[in-house]
Amino acid sequence: MRPTTTRRRRGHGVAVVIPALALCSFALTSCVNGTGAADASSSSNTLVLYNAQHEQTTSALVAAFTKQTGITVKVKNDDEDDITAQIEAEGSRSTADVVYTENSNWLQQLDDKGLLAKVNASTLAHVPTVDSAANGRWVGVSARVSVLIYNSAKVSPAELPTSVLDLADPQWKGRIEIAPSETDFWPLVSSVARTKGDAATVAWLEALKANAGANDNIPDNETVTSDVAKGVSELGVINHYYFYRYEEEVGKQNVHAAVATFAPRDPGYVEDISGAAILKSSSHQAAAQKFLAFITSTQGQEVLNHSDSWEYPINPAVGPPPGLPPLSHYQPTDFTPAELGTGLEAKTLLQQAGLL
C-alpha cells in the first residue's frame, strides 16, 4: 500500500527542502544536506523549485532525483495561481530555477510573459509532443482525467448525466457541489467555453451555482470527494486521482461512492496535463535541465507511478498506476493544453457568473 502524505490545501503553502530522502523546512535560509553540510542557494548543486503540484507527488520525484544526482532541491509549495503571480512579480529577480504545476495553463501564462527557457529537445522527446508547449518552453509530466464522482447509495449509474452541461438541469438542484476556486476546475470551464462560447458558458456556470446552492464554493477537490462519499452531496466533478487517493486513505470498504466519465468528447471530459518549466532567469540552467529530464524519463515516471500520486505518467514507456485502466482507455475532448489557454479566460467567466 502506498504511504499517505500531506495533501496541499489552498492557502496553506509550505516551504520544504528534500535533500536525498530527508525533508526539512526552509524560508529564506539554506538547509542542511545529507552529509550535514549547509548548501547555499547559489550552489551549482542546489535548485529552487516553486511547486504547485501536490506535495506527495513532488516529494517522491525530488527525493529520487537527489538520490541519483546529488543535487539538492529546495521546494517552495503554494497554489498555482499564487506561484504564478509570485514569479511574474519577481521577474528576472526570482530565486526560482524550476516551476512545476498541476495544470499546464499556468505555465502557458508564464511563457506568454517571456519568463521561461527552452527545454532540451531530448527531454521533450520523452513525452508526446501534444502534451508540451508547442515552442518547447515547458514539458508535460503527467495527466489526469476529469470524472463524475457520485454517491452510489443515492444515485444509480443510469441516472448519471452524460454531459457536464446537463448539470445545469433543475433536476440536480440541491444535489451537486462545485469547487470554482480550485484551479483544476478551470480547464473544464475553458473547454466548455471553446465548445459553446463565453455567453453560454456564463449561463451554464450561473445554473451550476443555483443548483449547488450553499455548496457553490467548496474549497477544493478533496472536500468534494469526501462530501460526496459521505452523502453530504450526491454528485461532483473532480479529477480522477482525488477519488483513488481518498479510497486508499479511508479504505475501499468505507467509500460509498464511485466515478464515471461523461460521454466521449464531451466538453466536461478533459485530460489535464501537469507540467514543468525552467525560469529564464535561473542561474542553474544545467541542473534545472537535469531535473526536467529526470522527471520525464522512464525512471522518473516510474517513481511517479509508484508514489501515492495516482496520476498517469505520460512517457509511453511507462504503464498506468496499478489498478487503473490505461490512459488510452479514456475518450476526452480533443482540446490540447495550448487550446485551453492560460486559465485567465476561465477565471473571468467564473467571476462573471459570481463564482469567484
Task: Give CA–CA dist 122/66, Å, rounded.
Answer: 20
The pTM of this model reads 0.85
| pLDDT at position 19 over 50 | no
pLDDT at 125: 98
309-346: per-residue pLDDT in tens?
899 999 999 999 999 999 999 999 999 888 888 888 99
In total, the chain counts a number of residues equal to: 356
User: Which residues lie below 8 Å from residue 330, measured CB to CB, with a gap of 6+?
Assistant: 145, 261, 269, 271
Where helices occur in the chain by DSSP H, the ranges are 55-69, 80-90, 104-112, 121-124, 186-196, 198-212, 221-230, 240-250, 285-296, 298-305, 344-352
**Per-residue pLDDT reduced to its tens digit, 191-223:** 999 999 999 999 999 999 999 999 999 999 999
Decide if 154 contacts 234 (C-beta within 8 A). Answer: yes
Q: What does the pLDDT average to over 170-186? A: 94
Contacts of 119 (CB under 8 A, 6+ apart): 132, 133, 136, 137, 138, 139, 277, 278, 289, 292
Calculate what percentage of the chain has a pLDDT beyond 90.
Answer: 80
Q: Which amino acid is at 312?
A: Y
Q: Quote the DSSP letter at residue 54.
A: -
* 141 pLDDT tier (thresholds 50, 70, 90): very high
Give pLDDT, residue 167: 97
% of the chain beyond a pLDDT of 70: 88
Asked whether residue 90 carries a pLDDT value surpassing 70, the answer given is yes
What's the first-to-final CA gap in the chain, in angstroms? 38
The cell numbers describing 337, all together, are 493544453
Q: How confident is the model at residue 39, as a pLDDT? A: 36
| Model confidence at 229: pLDDT above 70 | yes
pLDDT tens for residues 258-296?
A: 999 999 999 999 999 999 999 999 999 999 999 999 999
